[in-house]
């Protein structure tokens, strides 16, 4: 499966490998150890700013999914499938949509073998800020509203998978400690 994703990207000229340059879906990318994100996040935690990883991933994800949607001219749900294939290919884990309800405006994603959580180690709180931001941007594409995501289960906390709930920002209870922990930076809601 991973090879077919790779070959589809190359065949559609969506993956360009040149000397000193890699472009994936019209965005320049680089390969780096996942430990870098984990280390960055742990350092940001010391300043109660680790959610910057989430909001940066959310912002980047919006551009990422828009590039796929604009180029391939496929349905939004197919864009999400492509995005998930690329997340899998990139080594972040194995994503799955477990609930997609347009009426309720809620999406639930899971991530098995989550690279960030596995490298982070044991924690009392959820740590997959990068994937959580990507999930929020996927929600924005599918629901056509500003969305956020919270991680309700995490491998770092001892759960078997990581689970993410995505819904429009205004549907979150901003007095909830979990929401504050995952959507606030230094006591304030921050957005892209």
pLDDT digits (tens, 9 = 90+) for 117-167: 999 999 999 999 999 999 999 999 889 999 999 999 999 999 999 999 999
Please state, as a whole number, how many other Cβ atoms lie within 10 Å of the Cβ of residue 26: 15
Instruction: Kindly report each contact of residues 10-13 with a partner whose C-beta sits within 8 Å and lies 24 or more positions away, as own/partner.
Output: 12/71, 12/72
The CA distances from residue 84 to 38, 61, 81, 179, in Å, are: 21, 12, 5, 25
In order of 22, 29, 66, 163, the CA distances from 113 in angstroms are 26, 23, 27, 12
Tokens of 105: 């405006």
- Lowest-confidence pick of 72-81, 152-161, 164-173: 72-81
**Segments in 1-72 forming alpha helices (H):** 2-11, 35-45, 51-72
Q: Give the model confidence (pLDDT) of 7-66 as tens digits.
A: 877 777 778 888 888 887 777 888 888 999 999 999 999 999 999 999 999 999 898 888
Pick the CATH number of 34-189 from 3.40.1130, 3.30.160, 3.90.25, 3.30.1380: 3.30.1380
Q: What are phi and psi of 133, to 5 degrees?
A: -65, -40
| Pick from 2-6, 81-85, 106-110: least confident | 2-6
Q: What is the pLDDT of residue 15?
A: 80
Structural domain spans, the chain: 34-189
């Amino acid at each position: 499966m991973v090879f077919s994703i790779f070959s589809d990207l190359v065949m559609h000229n969506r993956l360009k490998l040149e000397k000193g340059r890699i472009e994936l879906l019209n965005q320049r990318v680089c390969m780096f150890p996942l430990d870098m994100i984990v280390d960055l996040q742990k350092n940001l935690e010391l300043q109660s700013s680790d959610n910057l990883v989430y909001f940066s991933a959310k912002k980047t994800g919006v551009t990422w999914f828009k590039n796929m949607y604009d180029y391939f001219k496929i349905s939004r749900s197919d864009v999400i499938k492509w995005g998930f294939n690329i997340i899998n290919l990139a080594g972040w884990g194995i994503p799955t949509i477990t609930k997609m309800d347009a009426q309720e405006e809620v999406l639930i994603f899971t991530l098995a073998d989550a690279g960030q959580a596995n490298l982070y180690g044991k924690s009392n709180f959820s740590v997959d800020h990068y994937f959580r931001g990507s999930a929020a941007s996927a929600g924005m594409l599918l629901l056509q509203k500003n969305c956020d995501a919270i991680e309700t289960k995490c491998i770092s906390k001892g759960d078997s998978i990581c689970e993410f709930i995505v819904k429009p920002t205004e549907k979150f209870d901003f007095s909830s400690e979990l929401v504050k922990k995952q959507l606030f930076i230094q006591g304030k809601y921050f957005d892209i």
